[in-house]
Chains A and B, each alone.
Chain A
Amino acid sequence: MSDIALLGRRAVREIWRFPEATIPALFIPLFFLAVNVGQISKTFPSSTPFLEGQGYVAFQLPVSLMLAVSTATSGLALVTEIDNGYFDKLLVAPIRRSSIIFGRFVADFVRGIGASALVLAAGFAFGVHVEAGVIGAILLIVLSALWGTAYAGFAMLVALHTRNVQATNTSFLIFFPLLFLTPNIVPFDRLTPVMEALARANPVSYVIEGIRSLVIQGWDPDKLGACLLVTVLTGLLLTWLSVRAIKNYDR
């Protein structure tokens, strides 16, 4: 079994054994979904053009999905191991250092699948239906989990550079401006010019738009392509930086 598979299996096991790391991260997106929908759904009834007949919850669902999967959990696990000495144990094993990062990604993907499935189930309970059908719903879950995996590199990067639990924990906060400088409440064309320019420059907007297209419009190759491209590029960049950081750790 490869080192990545071994370390990935261990990291996945942590999800079940350490639910305190996952459950709070699930509560927040579900809370946001309920509050946002409760406050805004009357402003945007299902007759609103951009909702295409669905309730406002369908428009908000991708935002909650992003919030559910974009966590600092792996970074926190990594910095905790740096702190307790187990990280050194892994570094002196005859494995590629990058496999420590990739092993964490395995857990991020599994956690992302579970979290996005749960948020989607909550969406169904609020009356959402996925316009792209069952395959679209599965793709929605996979895309969300992929984004969560891609973004996980950021907290690991912070963990490796700062070696500080608090700094790694607060690194999660940077996702809030990224999440809210997007068409998260209304579409691009309803934003003020400045906010639209900022949202269009923000890569997270295209991930939200891609996932939202599956829920509201059905299959939109352009939006899905942009979503996938942004996810892959973000993943490649953060993974490259994290791998470089772990290779140069103490060197």
Chain B
Amino acid sequence: MARGLATNKSRLLLAGLVLGHLVAISKQVDVGDGATLFERSLFAVFSPLQGLISGGVDGVGGTWSSYVSLRGVREENKQLRDRLAVTELLLQQRTHLAHEAQRLRELLQLRGVLPLETLVAEVIARDGVPWFRTVTLNKGSRHGLALNSPVISPNGVVGRVIRLGPEAAVVQLLLDQESGIGVRIERSRVTGVVAGQVDSAGQLTGDLQMKYVPMLADVVEGDLVIASGLDRIYPPGLVVGRVRQVKLGSGVSKEILVAPSARFDRLEEVLVVRTPLPDVTATETVQ
């Protein structure tokens, strides 16, 4: 009797949990961005812990590195003293060059090659499940980040913010199959959409796939792929990658593989673009 009651109770609980999850998932699918208060609150709870863990990993790594570097430090010290004399002579020359480089850098900045307001953020966690390709950053809405903020590295586009907490943000990498960025071939101005590429077994390959490129479009291996800005998320002109392979597809589009410029496996610091793209709305006047 008691066992039967317990079984009924657990069945009811199972039904409730399944129903609750289905409602929660469906609600996000309807909303699209999934930026609900519930989601923000949950993320706010978990992200500080990941920040702490990141700090802990860095701390342990630093301690270990210090220990390793102590080994043979006496011998190294002697060698360094010998080299110091030579280095001092070189220092004056290098100082002069550094000043010159600083001046040139300031000149380049004045030209405003990248007229975007950006924020430096640190990667505090990477993808922990095989299903999605994401990284977590240590900056959130409190620092001015917003959903869909583009994330770039010095090498190229990294992805966009898909989940936001006050102190952290989850970035969907371009490698993710669910990602998408409007792109253009810099040489021929051919446009398309780039997303994570999977092989025949459904595994993410680490390459990107450029889709919706007509069969007769002018695309060759080695072409530079840049953001087109047509997706209203990524500013135009940012480097995405280079065409690695062009094949004739079975349908009406070419099959194009793009090697991403960003080094996703070595991401430590990234830039989050805070400048929103100007809102473009098509208007039509009937006279």
Query: Does A associate with B in a complex?
Result: no
